[in-house]
Structure 1
Amino acid sequence: MQIAVTIFLTDETVAPTVLARELEQRGFAGLYLPEHTHIPVERTTPYPAGGELPREYGRTLDPFVALGQAAAVTERLGLGTGITLVAQHDPIGLAKQVATLDHLSGGRFTLGLGFGWNVEEAADHGVVDWRGRRDLVRDRMALMRALWSEEPVAHQGPFGSVRASLAFPKPVQKPRGPVAGPRTLVGGAAGPKLFAHIAEYADGWLPIGGRGLAESLPVLRAAWADAGRDPAALQVVPYAVLPTPGKLAHYADLGIEEVVVQLPAAGEAEVLRALDGFAAFLGA
Structure 2
Amino acid sequence: MATRLGLSLPQMRQYSLGKDVPDVARAAEQIGYDSLWVFERALFPEPATQGLYGMDGVPWPDQYRNVADPLVTLALAAAATERAELGSSVLVAPLHVPFQLAKALASLDAASGGRVIAGFGTGWSLDEYAASAVRPFEERGTSLDEIIGVCRAVWGPDPVVYDGTLTRIASAVVGPKPARPIPVMLAASSERALRRLVDHADGWLPVGMNAGQVTAQWRRLREMAEERGRTRPIRTVLRVNAAQQAKPYEGAGRQPFQGDAEQIVADLVEFAGIGLDEILIDLQGSARDAQELKDVAAEVLEKARAAGV
TM-score normalised to the size of structure 2?
A: 0.82
Q: 2:277 aligns with which of 249, 257, 264?
A: 257
User: Does residue 2 of structure 1 match 2:4?
Assistant: yes
User: Does residue 115 of structure 1 match 2:130?
Assistant: no
- Residues 140-167 of structure 1 show CA distances to partners (whole Å, capped at 9, x for unaligned) of 2112211111132321123432222211
Map 1:49-88; keep pairs closer than 5 Å.
Answer: 51-88=58-95
Q: For 1:64 and 1:147, how far apart are their aligned partners in 2?
A: 18
Deviation for aligned residue 1:9: 1.0
Percent of paired sites with the same residue:
26
Q: For 2:265 and 2:47, how far apart are their aligned partners in 1?
A: 42
Using the TM superposition, name which of 68-77 and 148-157 deviates more: 148-157
Contact 2:31 2:298 in 1 (8 A): no
Q: For 2:144 and 2:153, how far apart are their aligned partners in 1?
A: 14
- Residues 195-249 of structure 1 show CA distances to partners (whole Å, capped at 9, x for unaligned) of 1111122111111125312211121112223333225x21121112445455434
Using the TM superposition, name which of 135-144 and 5-14 deviates more: 5-14
Contact 1:30 1:80 in 2 (8 A): yes
Contact 2:237 2:277 in 1 (8 A): yes
Would the alpha carbon gap of residues 185 and 210 (structure 1) be closer, same or farther in structure 2, given more than 3 Å must change? farther
Q: Counterpart in 2 of 1:23?
A: 28
Map 1:96-245; keep pairs closer than 5 Å.
Answer: 96-126=103-133, 129-174=136-181, 182-188=182-188, 190-209=189-208, 211=210, 212-231=213-232, 233-242=233-242, 244-245=264-265
Q: Counterpart in 2 of 1:177?
A: none
- Aligned residue type for 2:208: G
Contact 2:96 2:133 in 1 (8 A): no
Q: Counterpart in 2 of 1:270?
A: 292
- Aligned residue type for 1:38: L
Q: 1:43 aligns with which of 16, 29, 48?
A: 48
- Aligned residue type for 1:187: A
Q: For 1:70 and 1:216, how far apart are their aligned partners in 2?
A: 32
Q: Counterpart in 2 of 1:179?
A: none
Provide the secondary structure at the position in 2 that maps to 1:60.
coil
Contact 1:127 1:133 in 2 (8 A): no
Using the TM superposition, name which of 243-252 and 142-151 deviates more: 243-252
Q: For 1:94 and 1:254, how far apart are their aligned partners in 2?
A: 33
- Residues 53-84 of structure 1 show CA distances to partners (whole Å, capped at 9, x for unaligned) of 22332211111111111111111111111111
Deviation for aligned residue 1:250: 3.9
Deviation for aligned residue 1:11: 4.2
Contact 1:173 1:183 in 2 (8 A): no
Q: Counterpart in 2 of 1:13?
A: 15
Deviation for aligned residue 1:8: 5.0
Q: Which runs of 5+ in 1 are unaligned?
A: 175-181
Would the alpha carbon gap of residues 254 and 135 (structure 1) be closer, same or farther in structure 2, given more than 3 Å must change? same
Would the alpha carbon gap of residues 215 and 126 (structure 1) be closer, same or farther in structure 2, given more than 3 Å must change? closer
Q: Which structure would you say has the larger RCO, counting Cα contacts within 8 Å and 6 or more residues apart?
A: 1
- Aligned residue type for 1:236: T
Provide the secondary structure at the position in 1 that maps to 2:6.
strand
Deviation for aligned residue 1:133: 0.6
Q: For 2:265 and 2:148, how far apart are their aligned partners in 1?
A: 37
Q: For 1:143 and 1:260, how far apart are their aligned partners in 2?
A: 27
Number of aligned residue pairs: 275
Q: For 1:91 and 1:8, how far apart are their aligned partners in 2?
A: 26
Provide the secondary structure at the position in 1 that maps to 2:143.
helix
Q: For 1:42 and 1:241, how far apart are their aligned partners in 2?
A: 25
Q: For 2:42 and 2:80, how far apart are their aligned partners in 1?
A: 25
Provide the aligned C-alpha RMSD in A: 2.1
TM-score normalised to the size of structure 1?
A: 0.88
Would the alpha carbon gap of residues 144 and 158 (structure 1) be closer, same or farther in structure 2, given more than 3 Å must change? same
Would the alpha carbon gap of residues 101 and 33 (structure 1) be closer, same or farther in structure 2, given more than 3 Å must change? same
Q: For 1:229 and 1:239, how far apart are their aligned partners in 2?
A: 24
Deviation for aligned residue 1:128: 5.5
Would the alpha carbon gap of residues 135 and 99 (structure 1) be closer, same or farther in structure 2, given more than 3 Å must change? same
Q: For 1:120 and 1:128, how far apart are their aligned partners in 2?
A: 13
Q: Counterpart in 1 of 2:98?
A: 91
Would the alpha carbon gap of residues 170 and 120 (structure 1) be closer, same or farther in structure 2, given more than 3 Å must change? same
